[in-house]
Structure 1
Amino acid sequence: MAGFDDLGDGVRKLFLVGVGAVATGAEKSTEIVNKLVEKGELTVAQGKAVNEELKHTIKNAAGDTSEAVLRAKLKAMTPEERAAWVKSAQKIADDLDAEPVEVEVEDADDAEKDKPAE
């Protein structure tokens, strides 16, 4: 009979080992998930910073390039051609300034319809 008691105790221990393994696995899984989320958030933040820096660099490069191209174009012109070009550019700027600015205004009734129900 003593052998059966040892067998029952062994099965009980085996069961507890299984439960302990599952609990440990769950704890470790939670730790791993939390670490991965942290790394993901950090990577996204770094990516946003790099993206903003890249946009800034491109914007500066584009502005510098546009000015260099304009200078080269104007340099190749005679003084009379430059004066005509400046006059043409000023007319375009004046036309753009004279265009009416359209502002879309939402109707009060439409605004009420778009509000989420409380």
Structure 2
Amino acid sequence: MLTELEATLKKVLLAGIGAVAVTAEKADEIIKELVKKGEITVEQGKALNEELKHRAQEAAKKAQPTEPLAAPPKKAPEVDVDAMSREEREALKKKLEELEAKEGDGKDDIF
């Protein structure tokens, strides 16, 4: 499950990639219009179009993250309380009380 920040960053990334794709399409239309008007030759238009496509692909590659946006959340350890000795349960209880006290202070460094 993505956190709110990860979801927002993903949306921004996808919007950027979409903008690059739309820009490439518009550039293609402009080049075709220039060729039609005779302002550039067909060969120049093809070369310019290929260069724009290449640049758009490079921009899209740079925009894609190569690693996850954040590390997966840590899973709480599983503890079989029934199998613990009385001393172990007391130590666990003490540790949990300490952690709850830290949370009350606004500290979230449990792990």
Smaller-chain TM-score range?
A: 0.3 to 0.5
Using the size of structure 2 for normalisation, the TM-score is 0.37
TM-score scaled to structure 1, two decimals? 0.36
Which one scores higher on RCO, CA 8 angstroms, separation ≥ 6? 2
Higher helix share: 1
Task: Kindly name which structure, 1 or 2, has the bigger radius of gyration based on alpha carbons.
Answer: 1
